[in-house]
Amino acid sequence: MKVLVMDGVSEQGLAPLRQQADIEVVIGEKMTEDQLVEVIGDYDGMIVRSATKVTERVVEAAKKLKVIGRAGVGVDNIDRAAATNKGILVVNAPDGNTIAAAEHTMAMMLGLARKVPAACGKLKNGCWDKKAFLGVELRGKTLGVIGLGRIGSAVAKRAQAMEMNIIAYDPYISEEHAKKMAIEIVTLNELYARADFITVHMPKTKETYHMINKESIALMKEGVRIINCARGGIVDEAALYEAMIAGKVAGAALDVFETEPNTDSPLIQLDNFIATPHLGASTAEAQINVAVDVAEEIVAALRGEIVKNAVNMPSMSPKLLAKIRPFLDLAEKLGKFQAQMLNGRVEKVEVVYSGDLARYDVNPITTILLKGLLDPILQENVNFVNAPLVAKNRGITVVQTTTDNAEDYNNLITVTIYTDKGKRILAGTLFQNNDSRIVNIDGYRINAATTGHMLVVPHIDKPRIVGRVGTLVGDKDINIAGMQVGRIEIGGKAIMVMMVDNIIPQCALDELAKIDGVLEVKMVSL
């Protein structure tokens, strides 16, 4: 397998990838979109920072790409919708550069308060000018943090150490959470009205684009100082320039710009403006952290294992993953089993999670069940990333419910598939030591392992059927490893599940179907 590494990702951090004998790491030079389109077909994985744009064209040109890793937080340079459509996993490394970005924000804030860059520049030009650089203290000032996530919280903590009062606006964070950090949650307008310094720490979205604009600046205090170490475009640079010229904004610091690289913004020439070239994550420590994190994720993704920081599939904490991993395996098998038992076009998939399972987030389990169901029956690549989207695009309704009542089991996953020709029910459970079993097919109780080959024969419960099926299978030189029969009433419908050592050829299945009393014959391989 080949992984293309772009944008100067830390070599030291790539160790988890370099240690894999079957993975070749290729360090790429800066490329245009056309150049990337030309080469991407050769790669199974790719790692980028913010410079390389993974556009729809690049994603479309990929032939075997399974994963795109972002060595950092922001994934706005990756066309996630295109990747999801194609079943390509996108992962990031959200934790490794939090402190670096928070410390850079503090550097910007202190730099603005004490005019460090301008004073330094003047001195380097031979001018010892003490009067021009009277600063302000941070102590006692109010800092308005917009976006109280990882970095916003880390900035708040550091600013508290400088004895600043912290107010914050984040519509997705609870007041309790903020209270624990001794931060007052306020409305956006209140933040604008009260803050001496404003720092933004949210992603660039439709909602946050140009959030700091002419109108919002008008609501701010005279002499406010503004910092953006999050994403270019959150601050409207033209509006900021005007407000700085007018004196409304006393100082501003941008690490990120709407267009990058950027050397000709008029802001850069202003004395009370500090610019850095997207350096928030650029510390030796952060670069190693994010590279290690993303390299580990790429290895896991290429090995088909579940990753921790996927941005385009249900994400899971390592704790949840450890708890539900055996259920993920069972669910995939149930989906795969159902795919081989199907008659007709799938219209609806209903999954009921019972017992212990009802306590967990079951979304990832449903996703993997859909992968198990759809992958064998569709031409396109169905995986953990795109399975829900593929189901939706095919008009399949997916319903998932949880209940505490698992009847005789500790846990139970019951999957009912509705097709234009009827419905089929399948249930599986995990016994002790993660021993997974299929315990019900269409209402008939059975107890079958979830591995190997199985001949499933719904039939009429009458003499000589089981014997004739067994004889015919034996005559084809196929060894029978075990057998289960489930029935509800004597002489009614029943089901036979025969564990066999090899796949029974279609011609033999056709012969079996002709046996009097046999209703259906299905070969299932798990």
Ligand X SMILES: O=C(O)[C@H](O)COP(=O)(O)O
Ligand Y SMILES: NC(=O)c1ccc[n+]([C@@H]2O[C@H](COP(=O)([O-])OP(=O)(O)OC[C@H]3O[C@@H](n4cnc5c(N)ncnc54)[C@H](O)[C@@H]3O)[C@@H](O)[C@H]2O)c1
Asked if 50 is part of the footprint of ligand X (rule: CB under 6 A), the reply reads yes
Asked if 258 is part of the footprint of ligand Y (rule: CB under 6 A), the reply reads no
Asked if 73 is part of the footprint of ligand Y (rule: CB under 6 A), the reply reads yes
Residues 154-193 that bind ligand X (CB under 6 A): none
278 is catalytic: yes
Packing angle of the helix pair 465-475, 506-513 (nearest 10 deg): 160
Please identify which of the residues 104, 231, 424, 459 carries the catalytic annotation: 231
Half-sphere exposure of 409 (CA within 13 A, CB side): 26
Is the Cβ–Cβ distance between 231 and 260 less than 8 Å? no
Token pair 């299945």: residue: 509
The correct pick among 112, 229, 465, 495 for binding ligand Y (CB under 6 A) is 229
Burial class (CB in 10 A: 0-12, 13-18, 19+), 376: middle
Closest approach of Cβ 93 to ligand X, in Å? 8
The correct pick among 25, 119, 146, 183 for binding ligand Y (CB under 6 A) is 146
**Residues 148-187: x where in contact with ligand Y by CB under 6 A, - otherwise, as a string:** xxxxx----------------xxxxx--------------
Token pair 């009067």: residue: 131
85 vs 98 by CB, closer to ligand Y: 98
175 is catalytic: no
Q: What Cα–Cα distance (Å) separates residue 168 from each residue in 97, 221, 264, 425? A: 21, 16, 32, 51
Q: Who's near 209: CB < 8 A, 6+ residues apart?
A: 233, 234
Token pair 């075997």: residue: 64
The correct pick among 16, 147, 280, 458 for binding ligand X (CB under 6 A) is 280
| Cα Rg, the chain, nearest whole Å | 30
Asked if 73 is part of the footprint of ligand X (rule: CB under 6 A), the reply reads yes
Q: Which stretch binds ligand Y (CB under 6 A): 26-34, 55-63, 124-132, 146-154?
A: 146-154
Beta 224-228 vs 197-200: how paired, if at all? parallel
Q: Which stretch binds ligand Y (CB under 6 A): 79-87, 91-99, 241-249, 483-491?
A: 91-99
Please identify which of the residues 60, 215, 260, 520 carries the catalytic annotation: 260
Please state the separation of Cα 18 from the chain's center in Å. Answer: 24
Secondary-structure percent of the chain, ordered helix, strand, coil, rounded to 5: 35, 25, 40
Which listed option, ligand X, ligand Y, none, makes contact with residue 49 (CB within 5 to 8 Å by class)? ligand X
464 is catalytic: no
Please identify which of the residues 49, 225, 278, 424 carries the catalytic annotation: 278
Closest approach of Cβ 178 to ligand X, in Å? 23
For 76-114, letters b (16+ CB in 10 Å) and e give bbbbbebbbbbbbbbbbbbebbbbbbbbbbbbbbebbbb
User: For binding to ligand X (CB under 6 A), which residues are involved?
Assistant: 49-50, 71-74, 97, 278, 280-282
User: For binding to ligand Y (CB under 6 A), which residues are involved?
Assistant: 73-74, 94, 97-98, 101, 146-152, 169-173, 201-203, 207-208, 229-231, 255-256, 278, 280-281
| Enzyme catalytic residues | 231, 260, 278
